[in-house]
């Protein structure tokens, strides 16, 4: 994670390539309306990111969305009545029954090709699939992917205690000794809560003004965790000088799903195939421990076990599926979103192009309309 915002020549060329190559990467149905709230994202902090996307088209609440995606996996639902599809660029899990669309998605998965996909995020369904132009395909393939095994572990609360999970694979304390001279440990929970509250106050549901360039849409939990986590880590690294990791949770085995109740945003159910948030070291009365920062789900930093339990809410379990976290993977801050179903390969976003585009696109949306 770079702490200076004067880009080297190579990064500038990369940014220019992104803008030219993926100018058409995201298009949205019925999205030419202006956001319903006034622009209050004026910068008040001189250290904010300067790597902003050239243009962003807003998504409209309740409308379908068309974007360029790659298929992570296709599987039958637990009850066998529908097909579930997971996209690397979307945390949300989608279902469909149309045989023609399923065949197109299976071809894209087999050939490892990006496609144009129209989805309805509000119903969690796939509506249409189209092939890409060479320009759009080239733009999408330009993203940098890294193979990063990280600290991956299977999770099973039926055999593991919360304490075991909080110490799983030795992550009770994160190894951050070589992280760009950032401070490894937040000194106490009170300091951590101040940072957490600062991040929470950048929520797009609040009236602003905001202290960063793009507000963070914590109020829209259906998707976008990857962008929220990337921006939160940026704040922790650049404003507060604390080291971070990211914790990815996956539902990538059998009919597992991450099942969450949006208690903070109306109480509706949300279903993901993966989720991600920043992980930091905090000094507590029990010693230094690793805590998750996730204002979309909580009002304070929480231990890993609490974060994972909230993603296994049986009240939000679809018929036949399992509310279960299959595995977790502790990743360096640079990992942005998974690039396949295994949970070991990740895309990156070093210049915050996709981060800022996602934050801006999701700004006017809410989880439980």
pLDDT digits (tens, 9 = 90+) for 156-175: 998 999 999 998 867 777 77
- What mean pLDDT is predicted for residues 4-25? 36
Strand, helix or coil at 291?
strand
pLDDT category of residue 46 using cuts at 50, 70 and 90? very low
Altogether, the residues listed in the chain come to a count of 369
Window from 167-171, 217-221, 273-277, 365-369 with minimum mean pLDDT: 167-171
14 pLDDT more than 80 = no
Tell me how far apart the alpha carbons of residues 213 and 118 are, in angstroms, rounded to a whole number.
29
**pLDDT for the residue numbered 47:** 35
pLDDT category of residue 16 using cuts at 50, 70 and 90? very low
Please provide residue 321's backbone torsions phi and psi, each rounded to the nearest 5 degrees.
-90, 175
228 pLDDT more than 80 = yes
Quickly list H helices, the chain.
9-21, 99-111, 134-141, 162-166, 189-200, 225-238, 304-309, 353-362
- What mean pLDDT is predicted for residues 353-362? 94
Q: For the residues of 77-108, what is the DSSP string, one character each?
A: -TTSSSEEEEETT--BEEEE--HHHHHHHHHH
Going by C-beta distance under 8 Å and a sequence separation of 6 or more, which residues neighbour residue 228?
A: 216, 217, 218, 277, 296, 359
Tens of pLDDT, residue by residue over 68-99, are 999 999 999 888 888 999 999 999 999 999 99
**pLDDT for the residue numbered 129:** 96
Are the CB atoms for 252 and 151 separated by under 8 Å? no
CATH 1.10.510.10, domain 9-141, yes or no: no
- What mean pLDDT is predicted for residues 25-50? 33
264 pLDDT more than 80 = yes
More confident residue, 139 or 296: 296
Tell me how far apart the alpha carbons of residues 369 and 338 are, in angstroms, rounded to a whole number.
28
DSSP state of 353: H
> Which residue ranges does the chain devote to CATH 2.40.50.340?
9-141
**pLDDT for the residue numbered 305:** 95
Q: Which of 326, 180, 202 is nearest to 253 (CA)?
A: 326
Tell me how far apart the alpha carbons of residues 226 and 361 are, in angstroms, rounded to a whole number.
14
Q: What sign has the CA pseudo-torsion 301, 263, 269, 61?
A: negative
Q: What angle do CA 211, 292, 337 make, to 5 degrees?
A: 80
Please, what is the average pLDDT of the chain?
Answer: 83
- Residue whose pair of structure tokens reads 């929520």 in the numeric block: 203
342 pLDDT more than 90 = yes
Are the CB atoms for 262 and 224 separated by under 8 Å? no
**pLDDT for the residue numbered 80:** 82
**pLDDT for the residue numbered 54:** 43
Q: Which of 224, 323, 313, 315 is nearest to 275 (CA)?
A: 224
**Cα torsion through 245, 251, 254, 257, rounded to 10:** 170
CA dist list (Å): 62 to 179, 227, 331, 366:
41, 21, 33, 10
**pLDDT for the residue numbered 40:** 30
- What mean pLDDT is predicted for residues 320-328? 90
> Which residue ranges does the chain devote to CATH 3.10.620.30?
145-362
CA dist list (Å): 332 to 1, 148, 194, 296, 353:
9, 9, 24, 21, 19
Q: Is the N-terminal amide bond of 156 cis, ω within 30° of 0?
A: no
Strands 274-284 and 185-186: parallel
% the chain with pLDDT above 90: 63
Going by C-beta distance under 8 Å and a sequence separation of 6 or more, which residues neighbour residue 8?
A: none
**Architecture (CATH level 2) of domain 145-362:** Roll (3.10)
- What mean pLDDT is predicted for residues 301-322? 91
**pLDDT for the residue numbered 203:** 97
**pLDDT for the residue numbered 359:** 96
276 pLDDT more than 80 = yes
**pLDDT for the residue numbered 177:** 56
pLDDT category of residue 190 using cuts at 50, 70 and 90? very high
pLDDT category of residue 176 using cuts at 50, 70 and 90? low
**pLDDT for the residue numbered 32:** 27
């Amino acid at each position: 994670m770079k702490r200076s915002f004067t880009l080297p020549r190579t990064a500038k060329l990369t940014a220019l390539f992104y803008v030219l190559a993926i100018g058409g990467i995201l298009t949205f149905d019925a999205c030419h309306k202006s956001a319903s709230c006034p622009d209050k994202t004026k910068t008040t902090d001189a250290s904010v990111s300067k790597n902003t996307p050239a243009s962003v088209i807003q998504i409209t609440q309740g409308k379908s969305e068309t974007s360029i995606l790659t298929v992570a996996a296709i599987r039958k639902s637990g009850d066998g009545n529908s097909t579930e599809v997971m996209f690397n660029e979307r945390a949300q899990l989608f279902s469909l029954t149309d045989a023609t669309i399923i065949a197109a998605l299976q071809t894209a998965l087999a050939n490892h090709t990006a496609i144009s996909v129209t989805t309805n995020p509000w119903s969690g369904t796939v509506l249409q699939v189209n092939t890409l132009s060479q320009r759009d395909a080239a733009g999408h393939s330009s993203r940098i992917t890294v193979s990063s095994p990280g600290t991956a572990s299977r999770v099973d609360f039926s055999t593991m205690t919360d304490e075991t999970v909080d110490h799983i694979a030795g992550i009770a304390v994160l190894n951050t000794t070589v992280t760009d001279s950032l401070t490894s440990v937040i000194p106490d929970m009170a300091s951590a809560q101040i940072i957490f509250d600062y991040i929470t106050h950048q929520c797009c549901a609040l009236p602003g003004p905001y202290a960063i360039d793009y507000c963070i849409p914590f109020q829209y939990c259906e998707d976008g965790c990857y962008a929220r986590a990337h921006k939160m880590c940026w704040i922790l690294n650049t404003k507060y000088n604390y080291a971070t990791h990211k914790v990815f949770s996956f539902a990538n085995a059998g009919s597992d799903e991450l099942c969450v109740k949006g208690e903070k945003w109306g109480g509706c159910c949300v279903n993901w195939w993966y989720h991600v948030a920043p992980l930091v070291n905090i000094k507590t009365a029990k010693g230094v421990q690793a805590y998750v920062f996730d204002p979309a789900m909580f009002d304070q930093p929480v231990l890993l076990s609490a974060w994972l339990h909230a993603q296994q809410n049986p009240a939000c379990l679809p018929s036949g599926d399992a509310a279960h976290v299959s595995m977790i993977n502790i990743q360096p801050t640079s990992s942005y979103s998974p690039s396949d179903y295994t949970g070991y390969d990740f895309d990156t976003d070093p210049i915050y192009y996709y981060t800022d585009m996602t934050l801006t696109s999701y700004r006017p949306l809410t989880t439980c309309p």
